[in-house]
Chain A
């Protein structure tokens, strides 16, 4: 049996760990609230934009715009949205599983330190990595999405896809691959946005000719790049909400485990102490008899 001093030392260290994980849980919880609110607030916007895009794209000749035409896919462009810090449960590991599933030629663009490390370590083709703070300002994300769009237009990549942890609720985040460009299948795309936001909008009942000001092509030119930036931004917000939720849950589990461990160790400590006292009494009694 371990000595009482050893047990006491372990109890102390587990208690320390519990204190730290508890603090981290509280921090993550407060960040989570903000991140979730941001992700949810952006949904109505994303939905409306998808709606407009759908209305527009069904009414113009889509074959002219590079964003809307399907071309032969030689190299996929994948944006991996991971976290900067660890300690968030299986979140990053699930993302990396999706990365290893990709067998076709691919170029990676990464947000988050963990993802960059993984791509570099496994010697995959990484073109660029970007940092986005916890606050996730639009301008930070815009740099990444504009860079990818430029590469897409140059022909360096033939698709833009995003691998990210989709935020469902505090307990569930699922890692998915989300195609962003080209937008060749609009019905599917609108359906996916609806699944994301959970809102079902009434389809357009108005089938009269639609008017575009200043012109259909000008509106399309303005709306498409705008849409890509905003869409990727929305995915980043969702990923941030997932990260903080996953971290909070992981820290809560760690704290609960530590509490349980302290309970078990205290029991063992008390037993050891009791055994030592009993032993001492026996020894004293035995020596009294002998005397």
Chain B
């Protein structure tokens, strides 16, 4: 019995496929899901998500959200998600620098904007860590 994994962000359905196992970064640490897992609802943290299908292991960077396991279906609701091959290291680095600079420069910034920038920096960090570690 295989698992179905779907990862949905507000912009798109990033991932949808049958898989063997998945490891999800949660607020309590990583959780590995195998077929037959009991129903689970958990909070997802920024980090890397590991998907195994056959002998192929693929990685995704995800940021903030929730994960649900029900039957043999794993659904992940993420604020941000990107597959490893789509990460553009240069672009991410630049974006991260820009966001950090903006945080430094701004004194009395709108809290919503500030939170957004902080999230961006954190997610950029996740993406870079994922890309570099795999080389």
Contacts and interface: CB of A to CB of B under 8 A. Distances in A.
Interface stretch (B7-15, B54-62, B85-93): B7-15
Given A51-B75, A214-B27, A44 B66 contact: no
A55 B40 CA distance: 10
A212 B40 CA distance: 6
A219 B42 contact: yes
Interface in A1-58: 41-42, 44-45, 48-49, 51-52, 55-56
A240 interface: no
A208 interface: yes
Given A55-B70, A204-B70, A49 B77 contact: yes
A214 B75 contact: no
Contacts of A56: 41
Interface string B27-47: 110010000001111110000
A213 B28 contact: yes
Contact of A48 (B27, B39, B40, B77): B77
Interface string A215-233: 0001100110000001001
A72 interface: no
Specify which of B9, B110, B112, B113 lies most central, judged by the most chain A CB atoms within 10 Å of its CB.
B112
Interface residues of A, number: 30
B71 A211 contact: no
A205 B28 contact: no
Contacts of A143: 112
B40 A45 contact: no
Given A213-B26, A213-B28, A219-B42, A48 B70 contact: no
A206 B75 contact: no
Contacts of B112: 139, 142-143
Contact residue range for chain B? Answer: 20 to 34
Contact of B9 (A45, A204, A210, A218): A45
Contact of B8 (A45, A138, A208, A214): A45
A142 B38 CA distance: 34
A232 B27 CA distance: 26
Contacts of B98: none
Contacts of A222: 43, 66
Contact of A206 (B8, B42, B70): B70
Contacts of B13: 44
Given A48-B77, A210-B39, A212-B41, A41 B71 contact: no
Contact of A52 (B38, B66, B113): B66
4 A-B pairs closest in CB distance: A213-B42, A210-B39, A206-B71, A139-B112
26 contacts: A41-B11, A42-B11, A44-B8, A45-B8, A45-B77, A52-B66, A52-B68, A52-B77, A138-B10, A142-B112, A204-B39, A205-B71, A206-B70, A209-B38, A209-B39, A210-B39, A211-B39, A211-B40, A213-B31, A213-B42, A214-B28, A218-B43, A219-B42, A222-B43, A223-B66, A233-B10
Interface of A: 41-42, 44-45, 48-49, 51-52, 55-56, 138-139, 142-143, 204-206, 208-214, 218-219, 222-223, 230, 233
Interface of B: 6, 8-13, 26-28, 31, 38-43, 66, 68, 70-71, 75, 77, 110, 112-113, 116
